[in-house]
Structure 1
């Protein structure tokens, strides 16, 4: 069986992280999940990822910090941010710095899948912020 594209999930909330991991596997992706941005960077697998799905608000290194560090390292992985607390200013900031989308929790499975597919295809999503509910 052929493995699907590698999606890296970074979220400090265990239930969200596990749910995303299982959902993305059901969609046919290969998934690696991490509880923190630091753990993700230490694993050294980001260069293999086709897309990164990351929470913004995490203790220690935030999703925004992770995005900046990846840019500093020259990593070009498309990023889809998820957040329960993203305001318009923060959303605009991460999109201006290259994120493909910023989804507000809760979001539908279909919105997440469409957003990741768009990121994998290199197409912009228009900076979606809807929940798809």
Structure 2
């Protein structure tokens, strides 16, 4: 199953897409008409395997998924997608839902869980929230990728200075720790600020935190205590 997911082909697209997976053709068509009526793109699948084997648009979107599907169930499909690194927000729908199903789905990250029959507006609201969630995740992922690229452009020494600067040390403290002159630390600091695209120290700290950099080490804490 993992191989199928990882080798699936994605088609580049800009506008949001609602992926509908339900073995009931009438449900698929009704939902398709609903989403298209508000200008959304729609792709229809009759089973989890059909979705996994299909050519899917690589755009912000969400998955509207029936809990009871032939073969792999909707809840098990949710688990499989997460394990395979596919992070489309999921809206579950079912005509046989119960509290344990809802709890399991929501704990696993589902955006909503709608019992059939549901109000069209409830579905549209859930889809709008899910698409915005996916768009935000993609923006955050792109921003983090950009930061990682900036970080990789730093020299080993600049990386050391970055870690000390963002953990709160002053230039003279960093110089003492690294055995450098204060002016050399200032040069490294200026270079890394430029490479990281940081407008200020606060901006640099925010970027470092996003990368998991900047937690004070024991050495840093000791230096602060001595200062």
In structure 2, do the counterparts of structure 1 residues 6 and 52 end up closer, same or farther at CA, with 3 Å as the change threshold?
Answer: same
Q: How many pairs are equivalent?
A: 122
In structure 2, do the counterparts of structure 1 residues 35 and 109 end up closer, same or farther at CA, with 3 Å as the change threshold?
Answer: same
Rounded Cα–Cα distance in structure 2 between residues aligned with 1:67 and 1:57: 12
Deviation at 1:111, TM superposition (A): 0.5
* Greater strand content: 1
Contact 1:53/1:80, CA 8 A, preserved across alignment: yes
Q: Partner residue of 1:83?
A: 94
Rounded Cα–Cα distance in structure 2 between residues aligned with 1:122 and 1:35: 25
Rounded Cα–Cα distance in structure 1 between residues aligned with 2:55 and 2:112: 24
* Greater helix content: 2
TM-score, structure 1 normalization: 0.85
Query: Gapped runs of 5+ residues in structure 2?
Result: 1-13, 135-227
Give matches, 1:33-112, under 5 Å. Answer: 33-45=44-56, 47-48=58-59, 50-112=61-123
1:46-74 deviations in Å (ceiling 9; x for gaps): 75451000100111111112111110111
Query: Gapped runs of 5+ residues in structure 1?
Result: 124-133
Rounded Cα–Cα distance in structure 1 between residues aligned with 2:79 and 2:97: 17
Q: Which structure: larger Rg?
A: 2
Deviation at 1:20, TM superposition (A): 0.6
Q: Partner of 1:122: helix, strand, or coil?
A: helix
Q: Partner residue of 1:121?
A: 132
Rounded Cα–Cα distance in structure 1 between residues aligned with 2:81 and 2:58: 10
Q: Partner of 1:121: helix, strand, or coil?
A: helix
Contact 1:36/1:58, CA 8 A, preserved across alignment: yes
Q: Partner residue of 1:130?
A: none
Contact 1:56/1:64, CA 8 A, preserved across alignment: yes
The CA RMSD measured in Å over matched residues stands at 1.9
Q: Which runs of 4+ in 1 moved over 3 A?
A: 46-49
Deviation at 1:31, TM superposition (A): 0.2
Contact 2:89/2:111, CA 8 A, preserved across alignment: yes
